[in-house]
A and B are shown apart, each in its own frame.
Chain A
Amino acid sequence: MEVPILKQGDILIATVQAALADSDLLQLRRALVERVVKARARGIIIDLTAMDVMDSFASRTMREMAHMIRLRGAETVIVGIQPDVAFAMVQLGLSMGGVTTALDLEEGLAYLHRKFTKTS
């Protein structure tokens, strides 16, 4: 299942629709890492509002995605983790490492715009 990626100015927004299979996650990582330079994006938002489970592979892939995207010159924000999912994640000891997280799309965009204003 392909994850839709939208462009809003210099930000790419990937909205995850449902639980992703491992191959879908890798496909998403590939797609974002490629497009970030093509689109000259400064920020990527990964919206997990519709994701109802998070396993260790998914959380590790997300962290790696963020690091790879940083190497390509953009900032990643993960948004929309549901309370139940967050609770399950911490109980399993899964974390997002150093990746920035925000409540939702609105907060994620606000964060990136603040960051861009500071550094420009």
Chain B
Amino acid sequence: MTERHMSLEPVLESVPLSSARPQGKSVAGLLQELVAHLRQQRTQLREEWASRITEAQLLTAMTKEEIFAEATSVYDNYVEALATGTFEALQAYSHNLSERIIPRGVETHEVVGIVLLLRDVLARSLFSKYQADFTKLDRILDAYEPAANRIANTVAVGFVQERERVIRQQQEAIRELSTPVLQVRERLLILPIIGVIDPQRARQLTEQLLRGIRTNRAKVVVIDITGVAAMDASVANHLVQTVEASRLLGATVIVTGLSPEIAQTLVNIGVDLGKMNTVGDLQGGIEHAERLLGYKVMLLAEAN
């Protein structure tokens, strides 16, 4: 009989091999036995677990039917992981489950909580089955414990990884939303910046702008920083770089809305003002841009 312990955690190395024991069954054999028991007791144990979840006031964001449906999947995947000794399928399931329940507002402590409750429910079931034969119970639990720990770990970590992925995705979306590149005329783009610019946002801004220049074939860009209260030297340098990079793509940049503080910062860091085209406010900037592009705006008649 081949030893299955190689497919489980190194933790099991501390478990003596079957040859040292009076009864003949190996760890793998014991796992198969307890898996058979858990499958046979599936209905009752799942019920018990579901009611303990409700008792502990976990998964309150979900309905009873939803909890039951997920409980069934988790139970089956749990037992399957015990049976096969491999955890890739469980990890994939955990990511999948997390993707479903995170938008429902399920928290990390709830996921860890329900997995530990299941672990407990199953352990107690094993205890009541084997309590007559203490030596056997001992060995059964020795086989169960490390695998159960690994399962709890896999599910919890899977959930947290999925949460982190969602957070990163949302952060990216927020960053993109906050720096829209807008076309207001043929060949004229406006980039209104509001709020705090850190070096990372500044970099993202530049990349978006350069892509926008190429896509819209813009010849003039107005970067409006009325909504930016202050910027430090490194961000000011980023702005200058943005102007220069835009020029390499054949576009002229006009910066508008510099606050007195920012004007001071730019002078302090010694920005080459010959490189920067600036106008006091956005309106002036757009009018200048239109002139550069050859537009002439005339008032034909007063609006009613």
Contacts and interface: CB of A to CB of B under 8 A. Distances in A.
Contacts of A101: 247-250
Interface stretch (A11-19, A23-31, A66-74, A78-86): A78-86
A103 B214 contact: yes
Interface residues of B, number: 18
Q: 9 shortest A-B CB distances, which residue pairs?
A: A83-B210, A102-B250, A86-B248, A103-B250, A90-B241, A86-B245, A90-B245, A90-B244, A81-B248
A95 interface: yes
A79 B250 contact: yes
B206 A87 contact: yes
B4 interface: no
Contacts of B219: 103, 107
Given A95-B244, A103-B217, A107-B217, A87 B210 contact: yes
Nearest to A87: B245
B207 interface: yes
Given A81-B248, A95-B244, A103-B250, A87 B207 contact: yes
A28 B83 CA distance: 69
B282 interface: no
A98 to B, nearest CB: 11
B223 interface: no
Interface in B171-229: 206-207, 210-211, 213-214, 217, 219
Nearest to A81: B248
Contacts of A96: 248
Contacts of B251: 103
25 contacts: A81-B249, A83-B207, A83-B211, A83-B213, A83-B214, A86-B210, A86-B246, A86-B248, A86-B249, A87-B207, A87-B210, A87-B245, A89-B245, A89-B248, A90-B245, A90-B248, A91-B241, A101-B248, A102-B250, A103-B214, A103-B217, A103-B250, A103-B251, A104-B217, A107-B217
A79 B246 CA distance: 12
Contacts of B214: 83, 103
A119 B211 CA distance: 34
